[in-house]
Amino acid sequence: MSERQPEALLLDGVSKAYGKTWVVDRVSLTIPGGSFFSLLGPSGSGKTTLLMMIAGFVTPDGGSVRLGGRDLTPVPAEKRNFGMVFQGYALFPNMTVGENVAFSLRVRGLGRAERDARARAALDTVHLGGFEDRFPKQLSGGQQQRVALARALVFEPAVLLLDEPLSALDKKLREGLQAELREVQRRIGKTFVCVTHDQDEALSMSDRIAIVRGGRIAQEGEPDDLFENPASHFVADFLGESNFLAGDLTPAAEPGLLRWHAGATGLVQAGQPSQAGPALMALRPSKIAIASGEPCGMPNRLPGIVTGSSYRGTAIHCRVDTPAGPMSVSLPSWRAPFNPEPDQRVWLSWAPDAAVIVTDDRA
């Protein structure tokens, strides 16, 4: 494997129209070399089209794709030296695992001994050493997908492109392979660009995530930053669950804070730039404390009535009606102070920095 630091992949105003619809609309992104980068968005948002333009299978109607200083836009797919892994792994059923992995090397004219050695190394990378002589039907779904990964890695591609690589697998298997995919990427240090519609998958595997909505990038950043500091209603809602409080913000006596008014009042950390006027706040259900008595010293506290609760193993989810509207609260079940029952009177509270002021981009 090459010791060189992989080059960054740059998308500059990349666009694609089908008919009169721009399915990818002026997307600019820097994908750092050697990073695990995810394109995350709902179905139909343009992720696959974007990936196909990076691969060279779809020609952009505008913009450019560059690797390091080199413009790839005119370079045909087969000359880009990018590996691809798709959802339907489609191994050749009548070839052994070893032959499947070595296939692209045979097409490239490599000799038998080198093909075998490289195929073995690629299978070792995905922890399938010794499986060379099996046939695909003798493998589990997860193992087949690892063969597909080995097949894409065997010719040492500059970049690996993955389109929903794990979505055909069941939950337990998928989680195991997420960790393995991430571990393989770290070990070989190549750039992986992965399309997914699964938030947990993107959060757990990626160095960076671009959230795609309607052919545009809604927000791009590190997983924890996107989760903690969503810029918009869409991102806060798509990446995990949020409560939204629509109201007004006014200056507060406390430095760095604003007073919010939404059927009740409280304090929220001021955004950058600090806003006043109509605003939307996003508040994660897990950042709200629930108690049977009124908490003292909390700047955000709301009385409420429990309308429902459900036990989900690690957490208890409650719905609570408050003067600011219905709220979802999620408490870790191991330290739940009590088991909230419907019609019970409770108090909710949270810290000023628990809520985030977001752009109201509700459709």
Q: Residue 159: name its binding partner from ligand ADP, Mg ion, none (Cβ under 5 to 8 Å by kind).
A: none
The single residue among 18, 92, 311, 338 that binds ligand ADP, judged by CB under 6 A, is 18
| CA neighbor of 322 nearest in space, from 343, 339, 306 | 306
Q: How far is the CB of 163 from Mg ion (least distance, A)?
A: 6
Could you tell me the smallest distance in angstroms from the CB atom of residue 28 to ligand ADP? 17
44 contact, one of Mg ion, ligand ADP, none, CB 5-8 Å limit per kind: ligand ADP
Please identify, among the stretches 39-47, 106-114, 272-280, 284-292, the one whose residues bind ligand ADP according to the rule CB under 6 A: 39-47
In the region spanning residues 180 to 239, those forming contacts with ligand ADP, defined by CB under 6 A, are: none
- Residue 23, binding choice from ligand ADP, Mg ion, none, Cβ under 5 to 8 Å by partner class: ligand ADP
Q: How far is the CB of 341 from Mg ion (least distance, A)?
A: 44
Say how far residue 262 (Cα) sits from the centre of its chain: 31
With CB under 6 A as the contact rule, the residue among 4, 43, 172, 272 that binds ligand ADP is 43
Smallest distance from the beta carbon of 103 to ligand ADP, in angstroms?
Answer: 26
For tokens 């996107």, what's the residue? 226
Cis bond upstream, residue 273 (ω within 30): yes
Would you say 312 and 227 are in contact if contact means Cβ atoms under 8 Å apart?
Answer: no
Residues between 33 and 92 with contacts to Mg ion, criterion CB under 5 A? 48
Amino acid in position 270 = A
- x/- letters, 103..122, toward ligand ADP (CB under 6 A): --------------------
136 binds, among ligand ADP, Mg ion, none (CB under 5 to 8 A by kind): none
Pick the closer one to Mg ion by CB: 48 or 100.
Answer: 48
Compute the least distance from the CB of residue 280 to ligand ADP, in Å: 26
Beta strands in the chain (DSSP E): 9-18, 21-31, 36-40, 62-67, 70-71, 82-85, 159-163, 191-196, 208-213, 216-221, 243-251, 257-261, 265-269, 277-283, 289-291, 300-311, 315-322, 325-332, 345-350, 355-358
Spatial contact of 269 and 257, defined as CB atoms under 8 Å apart: yes
Q: What tokens appear for 191 in the block?
A: 């750039």
Task: Please state, in angstroms and rounded to a whole number, the distance separating the CA atoms of residues 318 and 128.
Answer: 45
Q: How many chain residues touch ligand ADP (CB under 6 A)?
A: 10
Per CB under 6 A, the list member of 31, 33, 35, 49 interacting with ligand ADP is 49
Q: Residue 49 binds what, of Mg ion, ligand ADP, none (CB under 5 to 8 Å, by partner type)?
A: ligand ADP
Please report whether residue 20 would count as binding ligand ADP according to CB under 6 A.
no
Which residue, 23 or 357, has its beta carbon nearer to ligand ADP? 23
Choose from Mg ion, ligand ADP, none: what does 243 bind? Cβ within 5-8 Å by kind: none
Torsion of CA 328, 334, 339, 340, to 10 degrees: -10
* Cα 186 to Cα 163: distance, rounded to the nearest angstrom: 19
Q: Of 279, 254, 286, which is closest to residue 267 (Cα–Cα)?
A: 254
Shortest spacing between CB 197 and ligand ADP, in angstroms = 7
Contact in structure between 351 and 284 (CB atoms under 8 Å): no
Number of residues that bind Mg ion (CB under 5 A): 1
- State phi, psi for 185 to the nearest 5 degrees: -60, -45
Task: Count CA within 13 A, CB hemisphere, residue 143.
Answer: 15
Question: Quick one: which segment of 47-55, 61-69, 141-149, 167-175 binds ligand ADP (CB under 6 A)?
Answer: 47-55
Residues 166, 174 contacting (CB under 8 angstroms): yes
Q: Which does 92 bind (CB under 5 to 8 A by kind): Mg ion, ligand ADP, none?
A: none
Of the candidate residues 23, 122, 193, 202, the single one contacting ligand ADP (CB under 6 A): 23
Applying CB under 5 A, which residues contact Mg ion? 48
Applying CB under 6 A, which residues contact ligand ADP? 18, 23, 41, 43-49
